[in-house]
Amino acid sequence: MSRFSLLRPALGHVSYLILSALYMSLFLNVAFYKQAFALLPVDGLHNALVFATMPIVLICALNIILTLSSFLWLDRLLVCLFILLGASAQYFIMNFGVVIDRSMITNILDTTPAESFALMSTKMVLTIALSGVLAVLIALWIKVKKPARAWKSIALRLVSIAGSALLIVIIALLFYKDYASLFRNNKELVKSLNPSNSIVAINSWYSHNRLAHLPLVHIGEDATQKPEMKNGPRRNLTILVLGETSRAENFSLGGYERETNPRLAKDDVVYFPKTTSCGTATAISVPCMFSNMPRDRYNAELAQHQEGLLDVIQRAGINVLWNENDGGCKGACDRVPHQDMTRLDLPGQCIDGECYDDVLFHGLEEYINNLKGDGVIVLHTIGSHGPTYYNRYPKDLRTFSPTCDSNEIQNCTREELVNTYDNTIVNVDYIVDKAIKLLESKQNTFTTSLVYLSDHGESLGENGVYLHGLPWSIAPDTQKHVPMLIWLSPDYQQRYGVNYECLKNHAKANDYSQDNLFSTLLGLAGVSTREYQANDDILASCRGAK
């Protein structure tokens, strides 16, 4: 017998399973207990007892699951899987205030290698390594004693299951109303419970995506371009700048006290200060805003195999181009010409798989000069994507300091974090202004227009929440309130009878959302189709207005 074997601890099967359940329940659910403690005021003996029974219930539930799996020889596999899931989820819940649900799984799977690397930190590696990887190695190292008689092992495990079930029943009889009230009134609390949150979210994601390969549903098959747009003295060109993670609160165009939009303030744009997003993550907002479905009736499964806005515009005979700098168009550009600008790896613009948004203009003027007919161009920016906000702008646009030059944003001061984020908005200002200047330079041959709309907002540590992706029902306004603006060349205003003052007045007075993009862009491009809804077209009520 080797010395290693002598040092290797040995436990009975039941003891091993209970110990595993104990570790997961107590050490990998700190985030859950913190949230439960905040929601359940422990101001008396009764509530204190309710709170004290929570880890007992969780230990018993995990023990039942692991013990049942042991009859199929799957217990060690589940122990390792549950520990890794729990350790990873707890890190992100505690440090960024995220919620583990289907949309978060979608975000994880849609994340590019560069975005994943941006989240890496010493704290993250050490935390997951110690609470997850090391715990798994210990779980695999411990030897489970083989019983002298198989029936005895089976009997002991059955007794363990029965004992755990009995404890759960007793606690339910004593405190069912308290548990029911807590979870009924705080439905998101269960999404911090490890490892069930990850398992439920992954299962929901799978169920949600298994219909993704259904036949393509066509829309707008009657799409044509209006004669007055098609046969005018100049061709039409529209640029849609699609923002990323830029929140409206930090746009000076909307009243923010800092001057984060100095260039756009001089561009005679129409800013819409009351605009909401369809979702709180790119994977939801982008497909939604390019679909013909409003947020309250949005069907993500259908959107995955249905044509969208750009398909309809292209069908009308208009040239479409999507320039990508943010990890993918989430299906919105699948059937139109598109190019991933990060693959160019341009010196001075691209570092470690990510590029400044300036890369979106590479070759763009040449493309416009060679256009045959009208065009719609989408520039998908990386915008204000975190947590590495400091990588979103070049040094010459570092307007506010000191900055948070780290991906561990929760460790930066409030001033540093806001300064860094505001610098990303200054860069957004620069990019949108650059697009406007490009359009202005083409006004001899094109009637031009531009729309800027961010996909969702961002949390910057308010109430301990960072980044984005919280479920819509509980997400703060900072994640749902997004900047939107429209710029129309004087030629566009005159040629198509758009009253700019009317548009500005409507922008100040009315609420808008990403639901408006579909018909507004169809209207801008002059596309006639049954899919067009005049009530959703922001410009419709100001066309021909005096």
pLDDT per residue over 120-148, tens digit each? 888 889 999 999 999 999 999 999 888 77
Helix (H) or strand (E) holding 505: helix 500-509
At 208 the pLDDT is 67
Q: Which of 113, 136, 117 is nearest to 125 (CA)?
A: 117
Bridge partners of 378, per DSSP, are 240, 322
Average of per-residue pLDDT across 401-420: 93
SS3 481: strand
pLDDT in tens, 56-102: 999 999 999 999 999 999 999 999 999 999 999 999 888 887 778 77
**Residues 6 or more apart from 6 whose CB is under 8 A from it?**
none
pLDDT for 1 equals 47
Count of C-beta atoms within a 10 Å radius of residue 225: 20
- Residue 6: what pLDDT? 53
Q: What is the pLDDT of residue 288?
A: 97
> In this predicted structure, what is the pLDDT of residue 212?
61
> What are the CA-CA distances from residue 27 to residues 75, 91, 135, 335 (Å)?
19, 12, 11, 48
pLDDT (0 to 100) of residue 9: 86
pLDDT at site 15:
93
| Helix 150-185 and helix 13-27, axial crossing angle in degrees, nearest 10 | 20
Please tell me the pTM assigned to this model: 0.77
How many C-beta neighbours within 10 Å does residue 236 have? 24
The pLDDT confidence band at residue 184, using thresholds 50, 70 and 90, is: low
- pLDDT tens digit sequence for 475-490: 999 999 999 999 999 9
Q: What's the pLDDT at 104?
A: 78
Distance of CA 362 to the CA centre of its chain: 27
Mean pLDDT of 337-347: 92
Which tokens hold the place of 141?
Answer: 């190292």
Task: Choose between 358 and 103: higher pLDDT.
Answer: 358
d(CA 48, CA 32): 16
Q: Are 309 and 291 in contact (CB under 8 A)?
A: yes
**What CA–CA distance (Å, rounded) separates 284 from 455?**
9
Please say whether the beta carbons of 118 and 407 come within 8 A: yes
CA pair distance 423, 218, nearest whole angstrom:
42
Residues of the chain above pLDDT 70, percent: 97
Residue 387 pLDDT > 70: yes
CA distance linking residue 539 with residue 536, whole number of Å: 9
Q: What is the chain's mean pLDDT, rounded?
A: 91
* Cα distance between residue 321 and residue 339, in whole Å: 8
More confident residue, 122 or 242: 242
Q: Domain 240-381+421-542 is in which class?
A: alpha beta
Which of the four pLDDT bands, split at 50, 70 and 90, describes residue 545?
low
Provide the percentage of residues in the chain whose pLDDT is more than 90: 69
Is residue 73 classed exposed, middle or buried when 0-12, 13-18 and 19+ CB atoms within 10 A define those classes? exposed
**Range of lowest pLDDT (32-36, 247-251, 254-258):** 32-36
CATH 3.40.720.10 residue window(s) in the chain:
240-381+421-542
Per-residue pLDDT tens over the stretch 411-458: 899 999 999 999 999 999 999 999 999 999 999 999 999 999 999 999
